[in-house]
Amino acid sequence: MKFFSFFTAIGIIIFFVAIYLIHTQNLRKITIKQTSLNTETWLEVEKNEAIKICIDSKVLEWKTSLNTKKTNDYCLKFQTPMIIGTSVINVKFPDSDSLHKINLAVGMKYLDFKKEEVLLGFRIPQGDYVDEEKLVSVTATYLVDKYPVTNCEMAYFFREELSSSSVMNDEKRKQKNEHTESDWKCNAHDYATRAYLYQALKYANARSIRDGLKPYYVFSQTDKRKAQILSEGHYIIEYENLDYPKETRAEVSIDSSSDGYRLPYYDEWMMFARAGDKTKDAPWGDSATLEDVLKYAKFEVKEVYEKNERLKTGNVGLRLANEYGLYDMFGLVEEHVLLERPEKFKRKWRMVRDRPLTVGCKATCPSYLKGGDIRDRWQDVNYGSYSREGIGGFRLIRNIGNNAKWTEVKSNSNE
């Protein structure tokens, strides 16, 4: 009997040790010095990540809407939100009446540029320019989605509209049907979504509202029939709801007082894609093999795709990130970017491929798709290439404070 009790006790101990390991092996510990905390501090975290924050000074109070557990006077344990966005933890110390705000950037990169020198524009192989190359100094603070927006994220924000959507592929429909609002969980590496430009802009506004921000885009009805840029920050775009396209247009303007979520403008996308690179045509270099390319981007080695495969995507974040920590800027899904003004380019140059959903706006297009997608020949994809198909992937950015400063760097050359 004692022999049995001994092994029973050992079994119980092993059981609880196993449970402990399960709950702690994926716990990410972040140690912060009190002296390093500013009025606002940003931490980058993933969706559904188990986090333990410890500060080197005794904490009087933690204030947050997150479900947390205070493990001692110095540490707080919690699970990050299941949806991309921001959350706040306010920290109060015994020796101060002020609060220190810790902002969690969930699924996003926090990029604080101080006179960051970036190369814009691109020279095509024929020696001409699509967009004049120039060096620019950028001072701005951005939140940028680490990955393209996923089916699960879209399904969360547009649960009702997606119910009968004919553009929703099986993976997106599965996400919608498996979740209710109370238990919604989007994994970091879900399938990238494809959406029309209108849907991407509506999603951006929905993200802003969820984070307590003023929406960036203002929509109104119009009788204009042509997609175009009317003036800087003022567009006519093709209007599609989440069923197949309607032959209508929507008028869109920006709220310049908003620092909410939005699509990147063309030059911003180029900056994020290059991530400091000033010499190569693409992140994999100018003499790369397919093996080199596939480290950074997902391309399928196929000559022709069937029409029913035009919505094909894949999991985000499985390739290498660029120097800014951004994934899938190339391949997988090409990304919607807005143009700030008409006639941006000195000449038109775009990738040529069978495009059943090509937008017919030509020189007046309010947006392009950048980065190529899973169907493209990787040899045709570089920083400068773009296309005009109506449906694509996208990622959102936020210019915190809406105060970006772009200054052209004058060359000292006498050429």
For position 129, what pLDDT does the model report?
Answer: 46
Please say if the pLDDT value at position 351 is more than 80. no
Structural domains of the chain sorted by starting position, each given as residue range(s) with its CATH number in brackets: 28-106 (2.60.40), 110-405 (3.90.1580.10)
* b/e map 202-235, b = 16+ CB within 10 Å: bbbbbbbebbebebbbebeeeeeeebbbbeebeb
For position 203, what pLDDT does the model report?
Answer: 97
C-alpha 386/C-alpha 124 separation (Å) is 12
Angle at 400 between CA 399 and CA 401, to 5 degrees: 110
Angle at 270 between CA 269 and CA 274, to 5 degrees: 115
For position 131, what pLDDT does the model report?
Answer: 78
* Amino acid residing at 141: T
The model's pTM: 0.85
Residue 277 Cα to chain centre, angstroms: 20
> Cβ of 331: how many Cβ atoms within 10 Å?
23
For position 223, what pLDDT does the model report?
Answer: 86
Please say if the pLDDT value at position 412 is more than 80. no
Mean pLDDT of 231-255: 79
Select the more confidently predicted residue: 211 or 188: 211
Mean pLDDT of 249-273: 96
Please say if the pLDDT value at position 27 is more than 80. yes
Using DSSP bridges, classify how beta strands 28-32 and 50-55 pair: parallel, antiparallel or unpaired: parallel
Please say if the pLDDT value at position 128 is more than 90. no
